[in-house]
């Protein structure tokens, strides 16, 4: 699809750790953004620091033609937190982090009227709605997507959510902002970056049978957590149509440094 140039309508902090951007543009229609938009992946396109204006690729004959390397926008993957079809307003939430990258810098420094590029959304759903039971695991970076996905799950009583946080002092803030209508089985876990010792034992205790078509598994967030838990469900012979597993970042990697490594992980470790 033709990439769109969107405009920042509003920007404001969500709690201590997130920055929310409200974006709008003529191409944001119900035909472009489906009704089950919750958590769908999008690409946001940013001008380089030395550029005066954003330049987007042309879309012709089903192909994208990008500008020259020095003018090519920087692409980063995010998730739809919300979409107001009547106002044509798209909501995207960014984690504030240090060291920051081009996306984080834009989110915290932009002003209403600034331009940003948009591509997508990808249509791969974060849940399999044919299942009756749901497990969603993520961290702060995945909170907006998981919160949006919960709105599309019909039976929250059969839904388990595990959120890793580096600072558990943020729990009440995160609950208030994102999980006011969350299932009772919402668990916050101290993020110690040792998933086989922390969060994975909790998941093993859940009554999830092997090779089940009645459980939908959603894994997003820090690299090692996603990889280790995906491996666990592979060993339980879960078919890939019932497991969504996408790492958003990796500890000790910068935003730019993890970008290419992430694609390699998606193509090899998490492709089956």
CATH architecture of 4-119: Beta Barrel (2.40)
Q: What tokens appear for 183 in the block?
A: 């299932």
pLDDT interval class at 47 (50, 70, 90): very high
Q: Which CATH code fits 133-267?
A: 3.40.50.80
pLDDT tens digit string along 82-137?
A: 999 999 999 999 999 887 889 999 999 999 999 999 999 987 889 998 999 999 99
Q: Is the pLDDT of residue 266 over 60?
A: no
**Domain coordinates of the chain in residue numbers?**
4-119, 133-267
Least confident of 14-18, 36-40, 256-260: 256-260
Q: How far apart are CA 100 and CA 224, in angstroms?
A: 20
pLDDT interval class at 60 (50, 70, 90): confident
């Amino acid at each position: 699809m033709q990439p769109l140039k969107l405009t920042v309508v509003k920007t404001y902090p969500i709690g201590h750790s997130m920055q929310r951007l409200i974006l709008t543009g003529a191409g944001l229609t119900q035909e472009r953004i489906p009704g089950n938009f919750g958590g769908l992946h999008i690409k946001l396109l940013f001008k380089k620091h030395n550029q005066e204006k954003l330049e987007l690729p042309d879309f012709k004959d089903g192909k994208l033609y990008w500008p020259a390397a020095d003018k090519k926008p920087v692409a980063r993957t995010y998730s739809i937190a919300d979409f107001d079809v009547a106002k044509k307003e798209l909501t995207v939430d960014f984690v504030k982090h240090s060291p920051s990258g081009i996306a984080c810098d834009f989110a915290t420094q932009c002003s209403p009227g600034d331009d940003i590029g948009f591509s997508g959304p990808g249509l791969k759903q974060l849940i399999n709605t044919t299942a009756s039971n749901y497990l969603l695991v993520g961290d702060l970076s995945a909170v907006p997507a998981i919160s949006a996905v919960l709105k599309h799950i019909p039976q929250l009583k059969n839904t388990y959510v595990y959120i890793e946080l580096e600072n558990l002092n943020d729990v009440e803030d995160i609950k208030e902002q994102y999980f006011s209508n969350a299932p009772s089985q919402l668990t916050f876990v101290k993020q110690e970056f040792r998933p086989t010792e922390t969060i994975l034992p909790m998941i093993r205790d859940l009554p999830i049978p092997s090779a089940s078509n009645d459980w939908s598994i959603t894994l997003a967030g820090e690299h090692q957590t996603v990889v280790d838990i995906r491996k666990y469900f592979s060993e339980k012979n879960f078919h890939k149509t019932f497991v969504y597993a996408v790492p958003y970042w990796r500890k000790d990697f910068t935003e730019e440094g993890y970008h290419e490594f992430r694609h390699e992980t998606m193509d090899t470790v998490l492709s089956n």
